[in-house]
């Protein structure tokens, strides 16, 4: 048992549990925004398992492919794939097995759901990580599309098709991701420069990057607010989403004007809390 726990502690960082958990929460919220989980618990459970496997597999494959640049960055050099504490072939095998199991399970659950899940994997691993990440800072747009797939997949599984609400929910995640990633790239500019990765700060400068963060925050808030109104979120929850969105906008514009590293990283943390809170509200609304 002790050996199993030690192995789990070694391998667990490969899936980036916080990031995976947040994306999983968006997928569950997408489903619960249209279907009450009390009466659809088996389907919701299957969605949770398949999305966890596919998202984790995608993340592990990214870790495997990026192990060389991770090894050059102070922030990531201790990751198991970068440090060599886990052989690269084991990392690849684990990622491939998890991803294949997740996509296969999603397709078996519902073909349309499976196609969206596979699209997220394809955009994340092939388009974002392998093709564009080392070539252009605009790769984050495609990474954002992959990050928006879980919530769209949940909505598709619930309804059998993509609808306007599902698209708005996906856009809310797509526009949230620049707020999340670009604030990170501002804080760790030296790391990204050391790894030779193009970023918005290194390509366009800090002022432009902060402007993009502010604009994307506005668009994310508008998208989630519009989706919430179309869903028919109760007035109290809608007001709460509005208050949180206002906080996000205030922080985004403050970070744009003041240009403080501490304020920017505070925005990075708040953006994650905001997104998770909005997903919880949508999930709770599904219980009503």
Q: CA triplet 213, 283, 249: central angle to 5 degrees?
A: 20
Q: Is 122 exposed, middle or buried (0-12, 13-18, 19+ CB in 10 A)?
A: middle
Q: What is the mean pLDDT of the segment spanning 147-172?
A: 97
- Give the span between the Cα atoms of 70 and 118, in whole angstroms: 26
- Looking at residue 29, what is its pLDDT? 95
- Residue 2: pLDDT over 80: no
Other CB atoms within 10 A of residue 209 CB: 25
Q: What is the mean pLDDT of the segment spanning 90-116?
A: 98
CA 165 to chain centre: 19
- Residue 268: pLDDT over 80: no
Residue 14 binned pLDDT confidence (cut-offs 50, 70, 90): very high
- Looking at residue 288, what is its pLDDT? 65
Domain boundaries, the chain: 2-285
- Residue 214: pLDDT over 80: yes
- Looking at residue 215, what is its pLDDT? 86
Q: What is the mean pLDDT of the segment spanning 19-33?
A: 94
Name, in order, each residue with C-beta under 8 angstroms of 62's C-beta and a sequence gap of 6 or more.
95, 124, 125, 129
**Would you tell me which CATH number, out of the four given (1.10.600, 1.10.1060, 3.40.50, 2.60.40), belongs to the domain 2-285?**
1.10.600
Mean pLDDT of the chain: 92
């Amino acid at each position: 048992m002790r050996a199993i726990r030690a192995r789990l502690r070694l391998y667990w960082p490969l899936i980036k549990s916080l990031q995976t958990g947040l994306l999983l929460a968006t997928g569950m919220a997408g489903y619960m925004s249209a279907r009450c989980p009390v009466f659809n618990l088996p389907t919701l459970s299957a969605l949770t398992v398949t999305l966890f496997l596919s998202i984790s597999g995608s993340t592990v494959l990214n870790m495997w492919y990026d192990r060389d640049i991770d090894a050059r960055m102070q922030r990531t050099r201790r990751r198991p794939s970068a440090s060599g504490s886990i052989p690269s072939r084991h990392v690849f095998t684990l990622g491939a097995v998890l991803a294949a199991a997740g996509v296969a399970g999603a397709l078996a659950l519902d073909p349309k759901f499976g196609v969206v899940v596979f699209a997220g994997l394809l955009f994340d691993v092939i388009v974002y990580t392998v093709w564009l990440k080392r070539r252009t800072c605009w790769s984050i747009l495609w990474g954002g599309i992959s990050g928006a797939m879980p919530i769209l997949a949940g909505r598709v599984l619930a309804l059998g098709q993509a609808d306007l609400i599902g698209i708005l929910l996906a856009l809310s995640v797509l526009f949230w991701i620049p707020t999340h990633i670009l604030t990170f790239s501002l804080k760790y500019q030296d790391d990204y420069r050391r790894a030779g990765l193009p970023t918005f700060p290194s390509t366009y400068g800090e002022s432009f990057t902060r402007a993009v963060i502010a604009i994307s925050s506005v668009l994310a808030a508008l998208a989630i607010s519009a989706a919430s109104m179309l869903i028919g979120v109760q007035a109290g929850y809608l007001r709460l989403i509005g208050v949180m969105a206002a906080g996000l906008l205030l922080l985004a514009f403050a970070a744009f004007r003041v240009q403080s590293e501490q304020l920017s990283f505070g925005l990075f943390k708040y953006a994650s809390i905001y997104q998770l809170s909005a997903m919880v509200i949508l999930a709770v609304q599904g219980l009503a």
